[in-house]
């Protein structure tokens, strides 16, 4: 899981309140996930 990626927030359209906040994956995160899946 990354904490280095660009932040991404999910906002409730009904209330305008942020209901979730994530760090988007970086290309390095994707490469690591693919490598781990191939090794599994």
Give residue-wise pLDDT tens across range 3-40.
Answer: 677 889 999 999 999 999 988 888 998 999 999 999 99
Question: What is the Cβ-side half-sphere exposure of residue 19, based on CA atoms within 13 angstroms?
Answer: 7
What's the pLDDT score for residue 3?
A: 62
Give the pLDDT band (50/70/90) at residue 1.
low
As a whole number of angstroms, the distance between CA 20 and CA 13 comes to 13
What's the pLDDT score for residue 37?
A: 98
C-alpha distance across the termini of the chain, in Å: 17
What's the pLDDT score for residue 6?
A: 86
CB 7 within 8 A of CB 23: yes
């Amino acid at each position: 899981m990354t904490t280095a990626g660009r932040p991404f927030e999910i906002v409730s359209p009904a209330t305008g309140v942020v209901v979730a906040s994530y760090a988007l994956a970086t290309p390095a995160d994707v490469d690591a996930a693919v490598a781990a899946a191939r090794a599994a």
